[in-house]
Structure 1
Amino acid sequence: MERHTLNHGKPLTLRFNFLFVPDVINLLSDHIANQIAAGEVIQRPASAVKEMLENAVDAGATEIQLVIKDAGKELIQVIDDGCGMSATDARMSFERHATSKIKDINDLFSIRTMGFRGEALASVAAVAQVEMKTRKADSEIGSRIVIEATEVKQQEPCATQPGTNLMVKNLFYNVPARRHFLKSNTTEFRHIVDEFTRVALAHPGVSFRLFHNGAEQYHLEKGKLKNRIVGLLGNSYEKNLVPVEEHTEFLNISGFIGKPDAATRTRGMQFFFINNRFIRSSYLHHALVQAYDGLIEKDAFPFYVLFLEIDPARVDVNVHPYQARGEV
């Protein structure tokens, strides 16, 4: 491009050279987007266990089985007797941000289900080989779908029990770096038991079974919270449980705290739930520890399983994909 101007009456020619740079912003493919999301949502086998168990609870299941092989590296399987899905819903459930729990923005402020983002199954299917069989109670035939690394390999009608049978095989098979950095089977299985414990504590009205490498680890019948605590954590807690119940206009509190003798030197036996959702709150924990001042040693941690029921509009659980934090 040339531009002419005057320099003391003399014409002056200026030349401008434009460098044309191609567009560099690209829209990521679904496969890549799902793998990125999986890195945040599915960090280890226990992450998948949490999502799968919560999906089963949200489906209205009364009986849930969790089957683990090789600490979740080879197989994570959840079998439930929940509502099941149609063939269309079974396929749609693996799409990102596909959910039955939110239909408009107002639903985000009245969440009572465990999941709501619609990321879990899509994230799991991005980093594993997944097979799901599902059937609605009023349907004569179910649907089977097989997905590997977000790619649907097969979908066909099948005979199956009402509910959903979800199998996650070879987690992180296509992300070798992530699989390499998984801890020992003992450590990974401990994380799985932690997630299983939180979900089972939150839902004593649902029966749970946990199998690892063919051996049954837990068989929890539906019942009262006290029975669930003892079934999960051991008979030694039965004589040390103190019931808590308080109702106010703002919130309701229920559950159990431990007698001073139940205090331990390590963390892990502290459970806060808001609207049945497990949360970590240093603020609430500190407030409760203050109540034990003078009753337990300074470096000891009290035991508690406490449920806070509050208007969902007052709680923001949309803080982190792990959903173990909340703002009140």
Structure 2
Amino acid sequence: MADIIQLLPDNIANQIAAGEVIQRPASAVKELLENAVDAGATEIKLIITDAGKSLIQVIDNGKGMSETDARMCFERHATSKIKNVNDLFHIRTMGFRGEALASIAAVAQVELKTRKADEELGCYIEIENSVVIKQEPCACPVGTSIAMKNLFFSVPARRNFLKSNAAEMRHIVDEFIHVAMAFPQIFFSLTANGEQMFHLEAGNLKQRVVQVLGNQYASKLVSVKEETDYMNVYGFVGKPDAARKTRGEQYFFVNNRYIKSGYLNHAVMSAFDNLINKDSFPLYALYIDLDPTRVDINVHPTKQEIKFEDEKIIYAFVQAAVKHALAQFSVAPSLDFTLNAEIQQLDAVSKPYTEGTKEDVSGSQLFKTFTQRHQAHKVDPSEKSELKHWKDFFTSPQQPASASQPETIGEYSLDISAGYAAPQKQSSLYQQSDKLIATDAHLLQLHTTYIIAPTQSGFLLVHQQLAHERILYERFSVAAHGRQMVTQKLLFPSTLTVSPSDAVLLTDLLPELKMLGYDVEPFGKDSFVIQGVPADVSQGNEKHSIELLIEQFKHFSSDIKFSKREKLIRCLSRQQAIKAGQHLTQTEMRTLVEELFSCNTANVTPTGSPTYIEFKEDYLDRMFGR
């Protein structure tokens, strides 16, 4: 009987390994940038074309490689950083497994140029599908330039699973930021499709954090620094007023390696107890240095998840360091009852305000200017003012003033004519299935969160925020699928500047935003002009509205796969819904309830939470034993 077990050819083995290491273009970017850092470079340039699908090139001025090393680096498990088992537990370099370049060469066409400082000529190598096509001497600067073209050309099925260019570009920018923030002493640049997105000059840590996150955070950072024999914690946390409603910019680095850790994130959150709302998330960029033997970074292919020898000690140190920083910089709210000694010596403080002083003041020319009649600044408070009845010009005697204007809730309007068809109301009763709410029934708001609406057979308990979320979701769904919402043009267009990674995301969302009533146009690098917004977004709130939308979209739950349009609709409905704690008038409550029962699915929100609970009369009777 013939043997059936055989060894895989090298090129197939490398492609299988590539499935673990190179999952998308961003994975290759991470590996190449880390290799450049390990080479001792002071300048690293990343060049991207077609979101990495056509070209990913990293150019560094590091120490370069000899001709033999240049050829060997593409072999599986070839590494300069590990010589024995003990070295594995003292890793301080970024890349060490020797899988990256072999995996890249298995799924892309690679061109490598490299030269050491003590050699006159460099080496040029061209590899395709793990096979060396060309190797020859070449003239090139000291350092290494590696270009990978046509990613996954040899594995078309993998290429088909890549996302849109904008989505892949966001992942690339994230990986670039993770490496750039870990090494502020190195110059980094990122050029995409011929346009420079990042130009990060070498500097100190705060300069790099501000360069990446944006200048608006320069005054909102609190320095963290604690040194002990066991570990060092340093970096920055955002002041409480910089906290966001969604997970903002949060970065952890262990020995200059970016990691994800829900455990350590909880340590920072607990340090912010009573300083920010429970539903807010602080900004932070924290760096932990500790002995490599106390941490295992080899537990995950991407090395973004690590294990500590003693997690509880790390948790306690991080929590204490952040708490100490917030207290030291007086971020915690406090009242200063002491008065400066110099101020106490002033006449205005030390001398009493006598009748004589009062007469001197009232007799002065300045006092008369503001109080006497026929002066330019005088405003007559008398009842005979001609402006008293100005509202009467805008309302007829038969029509109350409130009927001519849309009801507003918070920053957003409940004008049912804005951008969609108003529901047909009945004259005496509003009816939806078996629920009857009389038009003259008095609605009650409970805890500024719930609306109690009596029906013929009991009453409804409506959650105002969840109900409004359902209303907005259906309105936006209609708009996003062809019936564009009304756009209110701004008299003075607003200019919005965002971070480079957010600019990539916002550019990708512009067509969908247009359908939902947002008229936003690109305006140079990282800037956009807001020409118009939906008719129910209050004036002056347009920039905050779009910034919050970007933030929510970025951190939308990745567990459930939605289309880009569906994510946008859900984010907008959640963002613009009235919040619990908002006081509503009778008319506002009635409008909200009536619009809710005009929805196709009135009983649940898009996420499945109930919008109302019905209490029937027979159920209430049973509760009281009747």
TM-score when normalising by structure 1: 0.92
**1:38-78 CA distances to partner (integer Å, 9 max, x unpaired)?**
00100100000000000000000000000000111110000
**Matching residue of 1:9:** none
How much has 1:23 moved relative to structure 2?
2.0
CA contact (8 A) 2:231 2:289 kept: yes
Secondary structure at the counterpart of residue 231 of structure 1: helix
User: Are 1:78 and 2:58 counterparts?
Assistant: yes
Corresponding residue number in structure 2 for 1:273: 253
1:44 aligns with 2:24: yes
User: What's 2:276 paired with?
Assistant: 296
Query: In 2, Cα distance between the equivalents of 1:116 and 1:223?
Result: 27
| Residue aligning to 2:82 | 102
Residue in structure 2 matched with residue 3 of structure 1 by the alignment: none
1:56 aligns with one of 36, 42, 61: 36
CA–CA distance in structure 1, aligned partners of residues 34 and 183 of structure 2? 10
How much does 1:32 deviate?
Answer: 0.8
Alignment of 1:199 onto 2:182:
no
SS of 2:15 mapped into structure 1: helix
Residues 185-222 of structure 1, C-alpha deviation per residue, up to 9 Å, x if partnerless? Answer: 11110100000000000000000011000001111110
* Kept in 1: contact 2:108–2:153 (CA 8 A): yes
Which of 228, 234, 237 is 1:257 aligned to? Answer: 237
- Superposed CA offset, 1:226-261 (max 9, x none): 110111110111111100000112100010011112
Q: Matched residue pairs, number?
A: 308
Which of 184, 188, 209 pairs up with 2:168? Answer: 188
Distance apart, 1:268 and its partner CA: 5.3
Partner of 2:302: 322
**Of 217, 223, 240, the match for 2:197:** 217
For 2:132 and 2:240, how far apart are their aligned partners in 1? 54
1:69 and 2:53 aligned: no
Contact 2:65-2:116 at 8 Å conserved across structures: yes
Aligned to 1:124: 104
CA contact (8 A) 2:44 2:188 kept: yes
SS where residue 284 of structure 1 aligns?
helix
Q: Partner amino acid for 2:213?
A: L
Determine the C-alpha separation between the residues in 2 that align with 1:196 and 1:238: 21
Q: Specify the alignment match of 1:231 in structure 2.
A: 211
Q: Please give the alpha-carbon distance, in whole angstroms, between the structure 1 residues aligned to 2:152 and 2:248.
A: 27
Kindly state the Cα deviation for residue 265 of structure 1 after the two structures are TM-superposed: 2.9
Distance (Å, rounded) in 2 between the aligned partners of 1:266 and 1:157: 53
Q: Which has the higher helix share?
A: 2
SS in structure 2 opposite 1:209?
strand
One-letter amino acid of the structure 1 residue matched with residue 69 of structure 2: D
For residues 292-320 of structure 1, what are the alpha-carbon distances to aligned partners after superposition, in whole Å with 9 as ceiling and x for unaligned? Answer: 12222222221111111100111110111
**Please, which of 282, 286, 300 is the counterpart of residue 266 of structure 2?**
286
Worse-matched range after superposition: 63-72 or 284-293: 284-293
CA distance in 2, matches of 1:90, 1:76: 18
- Structure 2: unaligned runs, 5 residues or longer: 309-626
Q: Which amino acid in 2 is paired with 1:38?
A: A
Q: Which moved more, 1:260-269 or 1:225-234?
A: 260-269
Instruction: Report which of the two has the higher share of strand.
Output: 1
Q: Is contact 2:248–2:282 with CA below 8 Å preserved after alignment? A: no
1:27 matched to 2:11? The reply is no
Partner of 2:291: 311
Alpha-carbon distance between aligned partners in 1 of 2:279 and 2:216, rounded to the nearest angstrom: 21
1:69-113 CA distances to partner (integer Å, 9 max, x unpaired)?
011111000000001000100010000100001011110010000
The structure with higher relative contact order (CA 8 Å, sep 6+) is 1
Rg bigger for which structure? 2
Which deviates more, 261-270 or 183-192?
261-270
Provide runs of 4+ in structure 1 moved above 4 Å: none
Provide the secondary structure at the position in 2 that maps to 1:300.
coil
Mapped partners of 2:176, 2:64: distance in 1:
21
Q: 1:265/1:124 Cα in 2 relative to 1: closer, same or farther (>3 Å)?
A: farther
Tell me the distance in 1 between the aligned counterparts of 2:245 and 2:280: 5
The RMSD of aligned alpha carbons is: 0.9
Q: Return the alpha-carbon distance in structure 2 between the equivalents of residues 197 and 268 of structure 1.
A: 14
Deviation at 1:181, TM superposition (A): 1.2
2:151, 2:89 → 1: CA distance?
A: 33
Q: Could you tell me which residue of structure 1 aligns to residue 348 of structure 2?
A: none
One-letter identity of the residue aligned with 1:184: S
CA distance in 1, matches of 2:241, 2:159: 41
Matches of 1:266 and 1:115, distance apart in 2: 32
